[in-house]
Structure 1
Amino acid sequence: MDSTSHKPGDIVIQWLPPGLSLQISLDDQLAPCIDHVLPAGHKPQINVSPHFASSKLPLNGVRVAGQGHTTNKTAKSMVGGVLSSRLHYRHHVERKDGVTFALDIVSYDNMLGIEVTHTFEVFAKVPVLRSWSTLRNKSSSSITAMQTSSLSIGGMTNGTRSWSESYSVWSANNTWFREAQWQEKSLPDVGIDDVGLFELNDGHRATMARFSVSNQGSLSTETHLPMGAVTRNDGQDTWLWQIEHNGSWRWEIGDWQDGLYMAAGGPTQLDHAWEAVLRPGETFTSVPIALCHVVDCLEEAFATLTEYRRCLLRPHVDYERLPIIFNDYMNCLMGDPTEEKIHALLEPVRGCGAEYFVIDAGWYADDSSWWDDVGAWEPSQKRFPSGFKALLDGIRAKGLIPGLWLEPEVVGIRSVVAKQLPNSAFFQQRGQRVEERGRYQLDFSQLLVREHLDRVVDRLVHDFGVAYFKFDYNIDVMTGTDADVTRGISTGAAHLAHHRAYLQWVKDLLSRHDGLVIENCSSGGQRMDYAMLSVHTLQSTSDQQDPLLYAAIAAACPTAVVPEQGASWAYPQRQWNDETNVVTMINSLLGRVHLSGKLDDLEPAQYELVRQAMQVYHGVIREKLCTSRPFWPLGIPRWHDEWIALGLATVDGTLLLAIWRRSGSTKCSLALPKQHRNLRTVSLLYPTNFEAQIELEEGGFCIELPAIPCARLLQISP
């Protein structure tokens, strides 16, 4: 369909890919707007407000230099821009590629000659809408883009009266040692209210109210996950979204006429010093976001988003085997590996059933003063006098696959590499290299940087037989290099180019080295986003060293990462009692196991607890991870909760349920998901000979545990 002359109501696009229904129509300015996004089989609710049609929000949140706002939304908002209303619908195209369905909506601004193609994507039968936009300069002069949002949608509250009292907004704190901690706030508590909105006059469509969450810098999930949700209090309407970018981003919600809107995207000029100068014929494509709408509760939305995330994963043999990984860092060698220490660990690690042995930080340094000297990535002869290759060969001789920690994106200021590479290889600020915490940031948009790191990785793979890398990153650079500002490339645009080039470099590594596993770690989970996770094989979830605190992280991480990618530490210690060692083991069992701790120092009974946990993982759990859906019988975990629970619903109809008692009452009642309340057999999977009293109740069960911090893993079946 193609036309340059339309009237409001002329065009209604109904797109019905498997699993989802999307309707788009034109507003009174002829800009395309989303009417609804629904799972297949559901119809839009009857709107009680006579003003609902005016809640339409232009799909394209685009801003260019010199173009301001037309509504009461201030310039601080992502919506209400004059250009967004002038981007009139031209035509649309439906496409199909295998099990992927796509819809392109093309809009055009006659005054400036800007064309925007908004692309929607759906993976077969997964009711999640993926969205991004491509801006093209079709004029004869340059245009400077200041914002290119990936999605704007209004009318999210379905015309519900008193909607500000009926809906809440969710965001997730995500800091070092305290990842994936969700917070719920009422709309009035964040300054959004529908009082008086039905009486707006003088052409006003909104107040200035908005609530935004954003990130600036290289740690894409430091402070917050790139996610948000809006839920209705009756649990029958939920919107959930994620931004798929490994750099700067922003999302916001606010009032628009008689309803709620959401807008989201990558870097903007306002927040992140991002601008893109488009010469005639040039394009810019925004970062993808995913939007999930369920006529159900937040838990169901997370389960649906889990299925969607699996569609993003790069195929890898790792997801077929889900091996146990031993890493010598956490509460173990802590960055001080030696030949002697590693040899002492090999037999206990092998005996527990681990399949990888990863040597973490410190292997390249003669002493502990290595922080600002990293970058050459040559093994220390002092730590490994018999030779590093001989050590890795010894790991393989035990039936274990060797891996190494690497921080490829930085070079220490004392490193010889800092002298070998030119300034153009690094982020710069006014002619000086950007120094952050004793490191320089490499710029992966530069070919010489990628070639340098190719040689590093290829050497470690070919010369030493390394088959696993833990790629870490421990600095946060707020914006990109200014070396090309004189050529019209803003620091924000340089930052984005670096992040995209880094992802492509990792993809190329995996294509070149078949079977290579690359773990994503950034001070724990500080880049836990699905730009990184669509490429990297698995995710380190935290650097938390206290197992009782880690329980809140491990239980909440399936909100951010699929179970088969989310790796939580299990680090048993000789000085801990048995119940504490059980807690640390259960922290890892419903995801990927990152085993650590001084296993060679454990008493025989303590070691047997570890071995039993790994047997349960091998024999019962890991074959179910890739198809399971998470649920939380006690609600999304909060940091100070006395009781925490995480469950996985498996395709064979059974439930796996981890329960942690950290304090408070010794009894707790848990309700099972409504579709699983016919399950009546509850068995203790781990630890099998520890105390746990279970009584069946209507819709669930009650469990009684000892009056000390402890945890249990249950299996619930028909």
Structure 2
Amino acid sequence: MGSTMTQDDTAQDAVLTLWDGPDGLHLVCAAGKPAALVGGDRGAEGDHVLLLRAVQPLVEILAVGQGRRSANIRHTATSVGEHLRVDRVVERAGLLGREVSIEQIDATTGLHVRVVLLVKDRSVRAWTEVQNGGVRPVVLQAVSSLAVSAPIGGHGSTEAVSIEGWSDWLGESRWLRSRLDSNEGLVRLDLVAHQHQDARGSRVISSAGTWSSGARLPAGVLESSDDGTALAWQVEHNGAWRVELAERIDAAGSPTLGLVLLGPTDSDHSWHRRLLPGERFTTVPVALASGATGSQSAVAAMTQHRRALRGAAEAGPWVVFNDYMNTLMGDPTTAKLLPLIDAAAEVGADVFCIDAGWYDDSGDWWDSVGSWEPSTRRFPNGGLKAVVAHIRERGMVPGLWLEPEVVGVRSPVAEELPGEAFLQRVGERIVEQDRYFLDLRHEASRKRLDSVVDRLVDDFGIGYFKLDYNVTPGPGTDLDADSVGDGLLQHNRAHLAWLDGVRERHPLLVLENCASGGMRSDAALLSRTHLQSTSDQQNPLLYPPIAAGALMSILPEQAANWAYPQPGMSDEQIVFTLCTGLAGRLYLSGHLDEMSAHQLAIVRSAVRLAQRGRPQLLRSMPIWPLGLPGWEDTWVASGLHTSDETLVTVWFRGGEQRDTLLHLPAGAITTAFPETDPENDRFSDDSWSVIRCDDGTIRIHTDSRVPQARVLRITHRSRA
């Protein structure tokens, strides 16, 4: 059953609450105005306040010949967005919650616009559909997926904090908290004195090309510094996107914050789409999740949304050993792999993944990718199949590294496929670092990749693929597209459809998402893959802020943090890198085959903890007892919280600042890792003290100046 509100009903002001409270979100349909999504507490403030704040329309559309109603360099205050009027609102129950559909019409252009809101608990997933109901083509330059007025209620930029993510190769998941009214943000302009309702600029977070998280992360949080009301957002797209934060003046002359989430745009990404009469365009999906007790409560709500987006709980093997990082580094051979396979099996790994180079006979695997046929030189006796068979004999799932979307310039596939099967600009194939890019809109490209995956699964028994992506093609392709950005968007969507096909044909296949580490860790890909390599960082001392920060945008059970213990490390160094792995989903590498029995025992205990903790990890919520880490912080901490227990990873990166205070839940504290060895008392923690203070905080002190790490377990007191 559902309900429908028609145009006649919207002749009067109406408010539909998605969820209420200080962090509430409401659909506001004011008579004679476009619909708006407004944050705040309906009960405390009343509908008149929500109507007053509804200054940012629900939809913004830039189109050639329409433009903006006031001069700015934003994607708001658009003429089409202002001219939209509600035709009807339909609400019905869905499989995972409520579905609210808002249909609006722009009489000037004839555009029919529908926004779909999928509401569950305190989160909403949304997208916008635009259909040309007129008689002339309309050239779209930008279409918002969702726009929100007063996203954290009545708290404007003077009380708002924006938590935004920065990324780089080897430096992923760096988060910065800053006030919106700081010097780089929305400074006070006194728009009212200038008789203007809108600023001309905005605070912009965006990414271009196919590395969706290559520079900025497609997720963030707005938080009120006044009462802790918070709203998390994410763009669920594997390509270009843009997010804007700006102020608009309401009817009472007060500044009201606006949040707008978009996919590719003309100004940022050379995107436009010519919409003929009757044609339809759908934006990339986005999501919001709110919390009333600070940013971590909003992230918890977004974590629940991400799990719902992925569907069923994790299945299949759990702890992965990969031969690349600080180990074989793309030079696998039978002689090198067999001892590693045996050692990985001895410590209890569930998967053994052979990384890059397995297909190359030339000694330079980078520009030879594309055929994905096993090397005969590297695997002389029985070939790669014999190595894969040994992995299975040792009780592990065999895995292979693939970079399916690229073809090296030396690969025979570069000549076998037609030119239209590759991304192009002005008639030339795009080349980056000696690689071409397959255009997955083309049937020949998709068939080629399907044949590779099916052959390796069916003939070799591969059960795990690490899907990498180390280069990016720029703004896109102009072949068979209205614009290069439009060509890229179509390719992005074809890539997702290809992954869906792989999963449908091989439901037990485990897929790892990787792009030079975390350069493409977006919700679109993460909803289709099992785990995400969080970084390529090979320095264990630099990894902790990446591992801790990854939990802001990646599910704990997907956050594959590399741990690469080595025989030349001290016990504390081995524990340090293993703690990094245990902060999410343990992802092993390292020369285990050269380790002593004692060293292997330390690794084995970490694997046991990861495997035993799998059920808790699958339902855990991330916490940051020291707040989100800075890149150079001496102490870093992140936690995985459930109703039963909380596991907290604490890293001390060395130096003179040898104590810290953590804010942790109540309960008994023990050390979960490393395990204390009663025979030699090697980890008796005489130099590492953990004390609960009278105010409930946890004081950690170490007598040593060398880097150390521990995983602490807090067992929560049972409720009466």
TM range (shorter): over 0.9
Q: Which of 550, 554, 568 is 2:547 aligned to?
A: 554
Is the 8 Å Cα contact of residues 33 and 58 (structure 1) preserved in structure 2?
Answer: yes
In the TM superposition, residue 189 of structure 1 has moved relative to its aligned partner by 2.0
1-structure distance, mates of 2:19, 2:288: 16
What are the equivalent positions in structure 2 for 1:44-55 lying under 5 Å apart? 46=45, 53=52, 55=54
Equivalent residue, structure 2, for 1:342: 337
Aligned match for 1:451, one of 447, 456, 460: 447
User: Residues 49 and 116 (structure 1 numbering): CA distance in 2 closer, same or farther, change over 3 Å?
Assistant: closer
Equivalent position of 1:35 in the other structure: 38
- Specify which of 587, 612, 627 is matched with residue 580 of structure 2: 587
Segment of structure 1 superposing worse, 292-301 or 20-29? 20-29
The whole-number CA distance in structure 2 between the counterparts of 1:200 and 1:12 is 31
The question of 1:682 aligning with 2:670 is answered yes
- How far apart, in 1, do the equivalents of 2:543 and 2:467 lie? 21
How far apart are the structure 1 equivalents of 2:572 and 2:47? 55
Q: Counterparts of 1:603-622 in structure 2 under 5 Å? A: 603-619=596-612, 621-622=613-614
In structure 2, give the amino acid aligned to 1:416. P
Alpha-carbon distance in structure 1 between the residues aligned to 2:462 and 2:49: 65
Distance (whole Å) between structure 2 residues aligned to residue 314 and residue 69 of structure 1: 40
Question: What corresponds to 2:351 in structure 1?
Answer: 356
Amino acid in structure 2 at the alignment position of 1:26: C
Relative to structure 1, the CA distance from residue 683 to residue 428 in structure 2 (aligned partners, 3 Å threshold; closer, same or farther) is: closer
Q: Does 1:64 align with 2:63?
A: yes
Map 1:668-707 to 2 at 5 A: 668-672=660-664, 676-677=665-666, 679-688=667-676, 689-691=683-685, 692-697=688-693, 698-705=695-702, 706-707=704-705
Aligned length: 695
- Given the alignment of the two structures, is residue 13 of structure 1 paired with residue 16 of structure 2, yes or no? yes
Structure 2 CA distance for aligned equivalents of residues 479 and 380 of structure 1? 35
Q: What is the deviation of 1:51?
A: 11
TM-score norm. by structure 2 comes to: 0.93
Q: Mean Cα displacement is larger for which, 50-59 or 493-502?
A: 50-59
Determine the structure 2 residue equivalent to 1:218. Answer: 210
Whole-angstrom CA distance in 1 between matches of 2:672 and 2:531: 28
Render the CA deviation track for 1:215-266: whole Å, top value 9, x for unaligned.
1101110011012222222451112200000000000101111121110110
- 1:269 Cα deviation (Å)? 1.2
Distance verdict in 2 for CA 1:297–1:10, change over 3 Å = closer
Distance 1:86 1:511 in 2: 43
Match of 1:145 among 117, 121, 140: 140
Q: Tell me the CA shift for residue 16 of structure 1.
A: 5.4
Matches within 5 A, 1:31-180: 31-36=34-39, 43=42, 46=45, 53=52, 55-72=54-71, 74=72, 76-123=73-120, 125=121, 127-156=122-151, 158-160=153-155, 163-180=156-173
Segment of structure 1 superposing worse, 307-316 or 546-555 = 307-316
1:408 maps to what in 2?
Answer: 404
Query: Counterparts of 2:555 and 2:177 in 1: how far apart (Å)?
Result: 22
Secondary structure at the counterpart of residue 189 of structure 1: coil
**Correspondence for 1:190:** 184
Relative distance call for 1:21 and 1:155 in structure 2 (3 A) is: closer
| 1:401-432 superposed Cα distances (whole Å, 9 cap, x missing partner) | 10000000000011100010010000111111
**Which residue number in structure 1 is paired with residue 711 of structure 2?**
713
**Contact 2:560/2:587 (8 A) holds in 1:** yes
1:380 equivalent in alignment to 2:372 = no
Pair 1:281-2:258 in alignment:
no
Q: Deviations over 1:172-221 (max 9, x none)?
A: 11111111100122223224134524x3464x212223110111101110
Tell me by how many angstroms 1:637 deviates: 1.3
How far did residue 372 of structure 1 move? 1.0
Q: Kindly state the Cα deviation for residue 56 of structure 1 after the two structures are TM-superposed.
A: 1.9
Distance 1:694 1:137, change over 3 A: same
The amino acid across from 2:178 in the alignment is K
Aligned counterparts of 1:313 and 1:241: Cα–Cα separation in 2 = 17
The residue that corresponds to 2:618 in the other structure is 626
The 1-side partners of 2:520 and 2:108 are apart by 40
Change (3 A) 1:17 1:454: farther
The one-character-per-residue Cα deviations of 1:644-666 (angstroms, maximum 9, x if unpaired) are 111111132x1111100013322
Cα pair distance change 1:3/1:201, threshold 3 Å: farther
| Superimposed CA distance per residue, residues 537-562 of structure 1 (whole angstroms, 9 cap, x where no aligned partner) | 11110000011111111111110101
Where do residues 314-713 of structure 1 align in structure 2 (5 Å cutoff)?
314-315=311-312, 319-321=314-316, 323-386=318-381, 387-485=383-481, 489-619=482-612, 621-652=613-644, 654-663=645-654, 664-672=656-664, 676-677=665-666, 679-688=667-676, 689-691=683-685, 692-697=688-693, 698-705=695-702, 706-713=704-711
Q: Which runs of 5+ in 1 are unaligned?
A: none
Cα distance, 1:49–1:231 mapped onto 2, change above 3 Å: farther
Asked if 1 retains the 8 angstrom alpha-carbon contact of 2:559 and 2:585, the reply is: yes
Within the alignment, does 1:302 sit opposite 2:299 as a pair?
yes
Residues 640, 9 of structure 1: CA spacing in aligned structure 2 closer, same or farther, 3 A cutoff? farther
Counterpart contact for 1:314–1:535, Cα < 8 Å: no
Q: Counterparts of 2:427 and 2:291 in 1: how far apart (Å)?
A: 51
- Residue 679 of structure 2: aligned partner: none
Q: Residues 612 and 573 (structure 1 numbering): CA distance in 2 closer, same or farther, change over 3 Å?
A: same
Taking the aligned partners of 2:393 and 2:153, their CA distance within structure 1 comes to 63
Is 375-384 or 596-605 further displaced after alignment?
596-605
CA contact (8 A) 1:525 1:540 kept: yes
Give aligned-pair identity as a percent. 37
Q: Gaps spanning 5+ residues in structure 2: where?
A: 250-254, 677-682
Q: Does the residue aligned with 2:495 lie in a helix, a strand or coil?
A: helix
Moved over 6 A (4+): 17-20, 47-52
TM-aligned CA deviation for residue 694 of structure 1: 1.7
SS in 2 for 1:331: helix
The letter of the residue matching 2:711 is L
TM-score when normalising by structure 1: 0.93
Q: CA deviation at 1:5?
A: 5.7
Tell me if the contact between 2:23 and 2:230 (Cα under 8 Å) persists in the aligned partners: no
